[in-house]
Amino acid sequence: MSDSARIIRTILNTPTEQTDLARVKCTIDRMIDPAIDIGAGVKEIDGMVNTIKRMVGVSATSFHKMQAVRKFIYKAGDWNGHRPFYYDHADPLGLKISNKLMAT
């Protein structure tokens, strides 16, 4: 069994409540691009989460949380370095694997 297969098997056998989705995403991304730093990726995601939490406050409704996530991702602002997410229009079907990596 390859290292990648072992990693995937471990991820799939981990109970849901013990699964760190940020770490899983960065781990899988590293299988595709070995230059990816898992720790740095997790830290970046944690920073995004903390920024969104500050944007909505402690008593936000689910609707307001969703609005804050959308704003964080799609609107340019200090919260995302004025770099909103955008689609690669040259790859409308998402076939280019690098477009699916967190770093991209």
**What is the DSSP secondary-structure string of 52-64?**
HHHHH-TT--HHH
What are the tens digits of pLDDT across the range 33-55? 999 999 999 999 999 999 999 99
pTM score = 0.81
Q: Give me the chain's average pLDDT, please.
A: 93
**How many other CB atoms are there within 10 angstroms of residue 42's CB atom?**
19
Distance (Å, whole) CA 46 – CA 52: 10
Classify 6 as helix, strand or coil. Answer: helix
Helix (H) or strand (E) holding 10: helix 3-13
For the segment 42-71, the average pLDDT, to the nearest whole number, is 94
